[in-house]
């Protein structure tokens, strides 16, 4: 016989299981005072879905516009759209510690310099390789005889060949080839050979998908896995493993094996044991410096692979974005070319090229390496207050908190016409057209901030400035047209350009 009383009890029990956590998160949780979407307050589902879909940046920007500078994006996670909070979160006292999300960025059993939560572990490795990123060291390799300068010269030559042949050119692929060659030859002492791949093919064949940079399939697969990066580490490992099986590709496997073979060859040339103190002091390259600091050869190989991925992909995206907008913006192109040529006699010092710096900075604003939140944990015994006066919002210890470049870089109060390429906004010579606003530099975070900022920032900036200078001085982009109106990105932890193609052609 149907037990109606028992059924009612069962329904009430189910409702209690559902409603009690909802009531707690909305009415009793320490973050109950922080505004945001109701679903975000009660479940991680909201944040995980927009992360997976690659729309986290634009959705959180919309939520900030609706709810304010501080919003709750998960039961214990907050997004901050206030540049004044950057110092507290990322800089002061070394910044807040990274949260356990970063365990999902480990290199299998190896904790990378980027993913390390333990500052002592990271410091040993970061300090060992830091001299490689000194500006003076980078400048020494930028002339015609320098390894960076020679890579850029080849890039310009190939771009000119495409122009002379009047064929469609994938700017993103060419920038990726340059970036991986610069990173590998400068940091590891051995060039991957991206710019040399497939040059024996005719121009039409070089544009086929099969002829693109051989490292691309593996790099794109690594970028795409960050769509799961907000999951707890145990669940992440399961989901990622299943995803890999379902999306297994011969192209990714071949790409991985080639990059792996390249790193193995690099390590064969690296003395791994018995290094004397004088030899340690003379260690030149990234992997050598790690070994000299006591890091095992196996880990040094993994760390080297990580820096190739991080440096090559993000710099390629930012360089592509900058050149893409310069193709579309004839007035900026003409002004930049005139500045470069008028300053040639001064040796092209960056101090004498303010508009070049402005163009690169605007490219960084629009082409973000990490468009989503760089998450941290409000430490115990601390707390964070965002804003001032009656509008201030206090966040208790243990809160996951972070700022997103996508939101800060597209704040219309700081950057009028936020989705437009307007390098003039960075100038203080009266030609900004009313676009210059206070706080612009403070709102920029293309490489993160503080001690945990991108270790390769100086190398990336150097490559960007030198390449844009060389391309503009060559007139290669004159007569060029983009095949798309705008660049669209997957807003994963590492941003990636949709379709992995940015074609240009010459009329």
Q: Which residues define the annotated binding site for heme?
A: 454
Extended strands (E) in 327-434: 376-377, 384-386, 393-395, 400-403
Q: Which of 330, 105, 108, 287 is nearest to 189 (CA)?
A: 287
Query: Which distant-in-sequence residues (6+ apart) come within 8 Å of 395 by Cβ?
Result: 31, 34, 70, 78, 378, 383, 384, 385, 386, 401
CB 6 within 8 A of CB 13: no
**Residue 402: Cβ within 10 Å count:** 22
Q: How many residues can be counted in the chain?
A: 507
Q: What is the SS3 assignment for 107?
A: strand
Distance CA 23, CA 259 (A): 51
Helices (H), 118-211: 119-129, 135-139, 147-165, 171-183
Return the bridge partners of 506, or none: 480
- Binding-site residues sit at 454
Distance CA 293, CA 389 (A): 49
Distance CA 242, CA 337 (A): 51
DSSP 350: G
């Amino acid at each position: 016989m149907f037990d109606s009383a028992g059924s009612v009890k069962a329904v009430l029990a189910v409702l209690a299981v559902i409603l009690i956590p909802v009531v707690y998160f909305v009415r009793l949780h320490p973050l109950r005072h922080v505004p945001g979407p109701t679903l975000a307050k009660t479940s991680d589902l909201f944040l995980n879905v927009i992360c997976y879909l690659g729309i986290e940046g634009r959705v959180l920007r919309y939520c900030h516009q609706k709810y304010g500078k501080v919003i709750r994006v998960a039961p214990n996670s907050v997004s901050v759209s206030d540049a004044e909070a950057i110092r507290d979160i990322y800089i002061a006292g070394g910044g807040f510690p990274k949260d356990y999300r970063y365990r999902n960025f480990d290199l299998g059993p190896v904790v990378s310099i980027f993913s390390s939560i333990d500052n002592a572990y990271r410091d040993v490795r970061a300090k060992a390789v830091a001299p490689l990123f000194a500006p003076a060291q980078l400048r020494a390799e930028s002339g015609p005889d320098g390894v960076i300068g020679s890579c850029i010269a080849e890039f310009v030559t190939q771009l000119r060949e495409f122009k002379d042949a009047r064929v469609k050119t994938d700017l993103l692929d060419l920038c990726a080839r340059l970036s991986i060659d610069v990173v590998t030859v400068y940091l590891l002492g051995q060039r991957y050979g991206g710019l040399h791949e497939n040059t024996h093919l005719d121009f039409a064949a070089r544009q086929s998908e099969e002829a693109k940079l051989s490292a691309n399939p593996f790099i794109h697969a690594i970028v795409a896995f960050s769509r799961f990066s907000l999951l707890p580490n145990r669940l992440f490992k399961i989901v990622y493993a299943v995803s890999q099986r379902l999306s297994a590709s011969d192209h990714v496997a071949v790409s991985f094996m080639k990059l792996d073979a390249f790193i193995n060859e690099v390590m064969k040339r690296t003395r791994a044991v018995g290094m004397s103190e004088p030899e340690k002091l003379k260690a030149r390259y990234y992997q050598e410096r790690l070994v000299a600091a006591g890091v095992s050869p196996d880990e040094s190989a993994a760390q080297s692979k990580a820096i190739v991925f991080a440096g090559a992909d993000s710099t390629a995206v930012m360089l592509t974005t900058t050149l893409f907008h310069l193709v579309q913006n004839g007035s900026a192109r003409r002004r930049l070319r005139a500045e470069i040529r008028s300053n040639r006699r001064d040796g092209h010092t960056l101090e004498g090229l303010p508009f070049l710096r402005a163009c690169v900075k605007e490219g960084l604003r629009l082409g973000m390496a990490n468009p989503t939140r760089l998450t941290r944990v409000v430490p115990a015994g601390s707390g964070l207050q965002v804003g001032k006066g009656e509008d201030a919002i206090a966040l208790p210890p243990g809160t996951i908190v972070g700022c997103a470049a996508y939101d800060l870089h597209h704040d219309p109060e700081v950057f009028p016409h936020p989705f437009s390429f307007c390098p003039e906004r960075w100038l203080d010579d009266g030609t900004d057209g009313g676009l210059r606003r206070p706080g612009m530099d403070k709102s920029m975070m293309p490489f993160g901030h503080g001690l945990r900022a991108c270790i390769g920032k100086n190398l990336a900036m150097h490559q960007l400035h030198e390449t844009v200078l060389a391309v503009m001085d060559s007139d290669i982009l004159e007569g060029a047209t983009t095949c798309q109106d705008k660049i669209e990105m997957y807003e994963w932890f590492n941003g990636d350009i949709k379709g992995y193609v940015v074609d240009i052609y010459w009329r």
